[in-house]
Each structure stands twice: as structure tokens, then as C-alpha cells.
Amino acid sequence: MEKSPDAFRTISEVADELDLPQHVLRFWETRFSQIKPMKRGGGRRYYRPNDVDMLRGIKHLLYEEGYTIKGVQKLLRENGVQFAVAIGTGDMSAFEEMTRKNADAARAAESGGKREERAAPADTHANVLVGEPKARSKGIFGVGGRGGEAAHPADELQLSKENRTLLQEALFDLLECKRLLDQCR
């Protein structure tokens, strides 16, 4: 018997629906304060339909758009939970509007023109996409360390979407292991 669209979902049902392991959902709860499933006796989680849509939006931003966890945290802080819910329900106009505003702000900052819109934030590293490395001016892993700057660092270090997803999943697994080890200490 299939549940009503308004029914609460268990973590296993949400994990199956989003094609994610349950531990990833539990990990996301530690990283995104906006994820607050209802918990019943014994700590069993029940997700509201809105929660599932938000998780779907977060998954899209992380896996499809390539944002880092910090980048998604920042987007949720600046745009609110309804932003992620809109993306999770397939309303990409919210995401397109946000990227258009960011592009306009970046152009305004580059041209030195003053606009009423706020300029791009100083912390540009928070929105770096996975697979697009941050250029470093010095250090052992800096781009172009010995032989000078590369023509375009992202061209040399670009990851395929599949490899990026695999690395992201490995990171989630490692962070979950760390969390479990920290609990044992």
C-alpha cells in the first residue's frame, strides 16, 4: 500500500527515494541545521514532505551543481530553506535567479561600478564547485608552483561528474567514520 504524498517518511524510505545511503542523510543533519526531522521514541526519524523536498534540493546542489557543503550552507543561510525546497520540487527558476544575481554582482565588482545590489561576498571559497580547484599563490600544492602559472588551472585538474560524485560519496563516508570514532572517544 502506497503512502499519501502528505505522509511522513522514515529515513529508509527517504534514502530509497533520493537514492542515498541513510548515513549520508544523518551526516547532512550534522552539517545543515535546517534539516530537522521529527524524532519519536528511540530516536526514529520521520521526515515531512517539505523535509524530503529540501533534502532533494540539497542533493541537487551538491551532486548536480557541484557545490561544496560550505557553499550549500551559505546558500541556505542567504536564500532560506524555501530556496532548497523550490529546487527539490523542480522549480529551477529560484536557482537561475540566484546565479543571475551573483553574476550581475560579480560583473559590477569587476567593473568597479557601484550598484544597489550587494557585491559578491569576500569569502568566494565557500561557493567553489567541487572539481574546480582554488588557485593558491604559494605552497606545496599551489597551482603552477615551480614552472609558473598554468594557462588555465581548471583545465588540467577538471574531474568528470562521475568521479566528482564518487569523491563526494567517499568524503561523506570518511566524515561519518570520523563522527563515529569521535563518539567512541
Which residues, other chains included, contact 45 with Cβ-Cβ below 8 Å and sequence gap of 6+? 10, 11, 37, 38, 39
> pTM score > 0.75 for this model?
no
Q: What is the pLDDT of residues 20-60, one digit of tens each?
A: 999 999 999 999 999 999 988 888 899 999 999 999 999 98
What is the percent of the chain where pLDDT is above 90? 23
Q: What is the pLDDT of residues 85-120, one digit of tens each?
A: 888 888 777 777 777 777 777 777 777 655 444 444
Q: Which three cell numbers stand for residue 55?
A: 533534502
Give the pLDDT confidence score for residue 133 in this predicted structure.
39
What is the CA angle 20-49-162, rounded to 5? 25
Task: Parse the chain into domains and list their residue ranges.
Answer: 9-131+153-175
